[in-house]
Amino acid sequence: MEGLMRFSPCLEIPHCVEDLQYYFNQRGELRHLVTKEPFIYNYYKNEHDRNHKRYKVLGDMITLHVYELLEKECNLERIPIPIDASDEEPKSFFFMSEELLSNQTNLIVLLQDRGIIRAGQWSQKVIVHQGLERGTQIPYIKTALRDNSSVIVLNPNDNFVKMKEEPQAVVKDEVESICLEAGSACDLFKTDRKPILPKRCSSSPEEHTSYVWDHFISRCAAKNVSFIAHGYGGLVFMDLLCKKSQEVMSKVNAVAFIDSRHNAQHQARKDPEIQTWIRSHCRNWVLNTKPLDRPTGSLRKFDCAKVSVGTENSELAPFFALQSIFRFLSRSSKNRRNSVPPVRTIVTRSSAKKSM
């Protein structure tokens, strides 16, 4: 995962980042190209805005670098959505294995927390200070691929595009209609004094995940579909489960929550069937200093089993839980195969004669 990060033409580079020359060494650690030192946030003394802009550009560079690793190291394909978008329309995207739709074995779907992180990342802060191995989803992806599983890497936080100019009245009306179609309550609003436009079918993490489910996950040939959901991603999966319960329960074999923000008692309180499914197919790795996989608390009526992730740091939790989660997914897959009754051969008179 070694590599030099380069600026993209689409990045707005402030004047304060002329020194921003960073790369990832052979251990996947972020280091300055000249000094070889780790990244320092307070590079400019008593200049918070300048340091913040510098950090933001570094984050954008990391995002582009991780996208490149997903394509080149993990051999994943970038899929623009919505699939019926015009060339001019703002689009989101996600990543998936090239053979996904035809692979009949396993599919693992990665769903991260909310915030600035994009596809392939668990925590940008961890990437900056502790490296790619701990902060990205790449170890999960490579483990899945070694097990001959297909992978989908969702991009639930890529919801908006910044507009270059202030919209005219007519354009604003069009934007508002798009927002209403997308079910967004934001209409047209601004960040950093620039108006932003929601991306159709991806204006929220829930909408993005639902769209990828409808057009890709539900149509794939995989017999064992598993979700790994961190933080707010757990709430997003629960939203999908409650809205498409029969589809999801028949297709998904196991769900590994990591410090999940979901509330099964609230989200699934009216459906006993969903509650039963959650208890049977899900597990939550929660923040706790107990050794990894130790039970934490009793199994509640509305929720799944909870085990310790071995740390109280939410951003490091996916790194700590990796091996345990894949053992859980493997056992769930075997249990599903064993629960399928074998095909019985019906003996007919003609077949009996042939065997004589």
274: domain CATH number?
Answer: 3.40.50.1820
For 96-131, write each residue's pLDDT tens digit.
998 776 777 899 999 999 999 999 999 999 999 999
173 and 133 in a single domain? The answer is no
Q: Are strands 30-32 and 22-24 parallel, antiparallel or unpaired?
A: antiparallel
166 and 310 in a single domain? The answer is no
Q: Which pLDDT band holds residue 341 (cuts at 50, 70, 90)? A: very low
185 and 244 in a single domain? The answer is no
The whole-number pLDDT of residue 263 equals 82
The whole-number pLDDT of residue 16 equals 40
196 or 134, which is more confident? 134
Of the listed ranges 7-16, 158-167, 193-202, the least confidently predicted one is 7-16
Cβ atoms of 347 and 356 closer than 8 Å: no
- The winner for highest mean pLDDT among 34-43, 45-54, 80-89 is 80-89
- Using the predicted structure, report yes or no on whether residue 45 has a pLDDT greater than 50: yes
The whole-number pLDDT of residue 15 equals 44
185 and 306 in a single domain? The answer is no
Peptide bond into 82 cis (omega under 30): yes
Cβ atoms of 292 and 320 closer than 8 Å: yes
In this prediction, residues 194-207 reach a mean pLDDT of: 91
In this prediction, residues 234-256 reach a mean pLDDT of: 96
Q: Percent of the chain scored above 90 by pLDDT? A: 63
The residue from 171, 198, 225 where one domain ends is 198
101 and 142 in a single domain? The answer is yes
213 and 119 in a single domain? The answer is yes
Exposure string for 72-85, b = 16+ CB within 10 A, e = fewer: eebebeebebeeee
327 and 287 in a single domain? The answer is yes
For 163-200, write each residue's pLDDT tens digit.
765 444 434 444 444 444 444 444 444 445 567 899 99
Q: Which domain holds residue 154?
A: 79-159+199-356
251 and 354 in a single domain? The answer is yes
Dig out the tokens for 60 from the structure.
């954008």
The whole-number pLDDT of residue 1 equals 64
Count of domains for the chain: 3
Q: Which pLDDT band holds residue 133 (cuts at 50, 70, 90)? A: very high
- Using the predicted structure, report yes or no on whether residue 345 has a pLDDT greater than 80: no
130 and 208 in a single domain? The answer is yes
Cβ atoms of 329 and 283 closer than 8 Å: no
Q: How far, CA to CA in Å, does 85 sit from each of 89, 91, 93, 196, 235?
A: 6, 7, 11, 18, 28
The residue from 73, 104, 126 where one domain ends is 73
The whole-number pLDDT of residue 38 equals 94
- The pTM for the full model equals 0.84
326 and 207 in a single domain? The answer is yes
**Residue 164 buriedness (CB in 10 A; 0-12 / 13-18 / 19+):** exposed
36 and 141 in a single domain? The answer is no
For 271-285, write each residue's pLDDT tens digit.
889 989 999 999 999
194 and 207 in a single domain? The answer is no
In this prediction, residues 342-351 reach a mean pLDDT of: 41
Q: Percent of the chain scored above 70 by pLDDT? A: 78
The whole-number pLDDT of residue 225 equals 96
Taking the CA of residue 102 as centre, how many other CA atoms within 13 Å lie in the half-sphere pointing to its CB?
Answer: 2
The residue from 73, 95, 115 where one domain ends is 73
